[in-house]
Structure 1
Amino acid sequence: MTLRDAGEYIAALPNKEHAAPEWRAAMEAPLLVVELGGPTMFARIGIMRALNCGKPAPKLEPRRKKARVFTVIR
Structure 2
Amino acid sequence: MTKGWGRPFEEPIAVDGRKLTTLRDAGEYIAALPKKEHAAPEWQAAMQALILVAESGGPTMLARIGVVRALNRHFVPELNPKGKEPHWGRRKLKRDQ
Q: Same fold (TM over 0.5)?
A: yes
Give the Cα separation in 1 of the matches to 2:67 and 2:25. Answer: 11
- Distance in 2 (CA, whole Å) between partners of 1:4 and 1:46 is 14
Q: Give the distance between the partners of 1:58 and 1:8, measured in 2 at CA.
A: 32
Structure 2 stretches of 5 or more lacking a match? 1-20, 85-89, 91-97
Structure 2 equivalent of residue 70 of structure 1: none
- Deviations 1:16-58 (CA, angstroms, capped at 9, x unpaired): 1000000000001111001111010000000000000011125
Instruction: Give the TM-score, by structure 1 length.
Output: 0.77
**1:9 corresponding residue in structure 2:** 29
Aligned length: 68
Name the structure where strand makes up a greater proportion of residues. Answer: 2
Mark the runs of 5 or more structure 1 residues left unpaired by the alignment. 68-74
Poorly superposed stretches of 4+, deviation over 4 Å: 58-62
Residues 1:22 and 2:39 are matched in the alignment: no
Query: Where is the helix percentage greater, Structure 1 or Structure 2?
Result: 1
3-state SS, counterpart of residue 5 of structure 1: helix
* Sequence identity percentage: 65
Greater length-normalized contact order (CA 8 Å, ≥ 6 residues apart): 2
RMSD: 2.0
Partners of 2:68 and 2:61 in 1: CA distance: 10
